[in-house]
Amino acid sequence: MKSITLSRILPFLFAFTLVFILSSCSNSEVVTSCLKGHTFGFWGGLLHGIIAPVDLVMMLFRDDITVYAQNNNGVWYAFGFMLGSGGWGFLGGKSASKKRKNETY
């Protein structure tokens, strides 16, 4: 196993620092005046996460369908969307661990 030297880490550290500094320069746009109507919260995010695979296919054929609702309330919508889409692996975690236990090497 090769030892990691400072000369190998330095370019990655420089690139990470550069990206971190430049990402703080982005302009925050206020879009609340553009969003009208129903605001989606946790339950809307959960539903949209569940139907996200269907939405992904449908948005290829129609312009009025999106995967992620633009008019949402922020963190709670995103949390519901992650749970609904299985983004944290709650549904597949147990079956994957059972397969590993049954395998013999």
pLDDT in tens, the chain (105 residues): 566 787 888 889 999 998 888 877 767 767 666 667 788 889 998 998 888 888 888 888 888 888 888 888 888 888 888 888 887 655 555 555 555 555 555
Residue ranges covered by each domain of the chain: 39-88
In degrees, rounded to 5, the angle at the alpha carbon of residue 31 between the alpha carbons of residues 26 and 35 is 155
Q: What is residue 9's predicted lDDT score, i.e. its pLDDT?
A: 87
| pLDDT at position 97 | 56
What values do phi and psi take at 79, rounded to 5?
A: -65, -45
Q: Give the per-residue pLDDT at 96.
A: 55
pTM of model > 0.75: no
- pLDDT computed for residue 14 by the predictor: 92
Helix axes 42-50, 75-85, angle to 10 degrees: 30
Query: For position 15, what pLDDT does the model report?
Result: 92
Return the structure tokens found at 94: 């147990």
Burial class (CB in 10 A: 0-12, 13-18, 19+), 72: buried
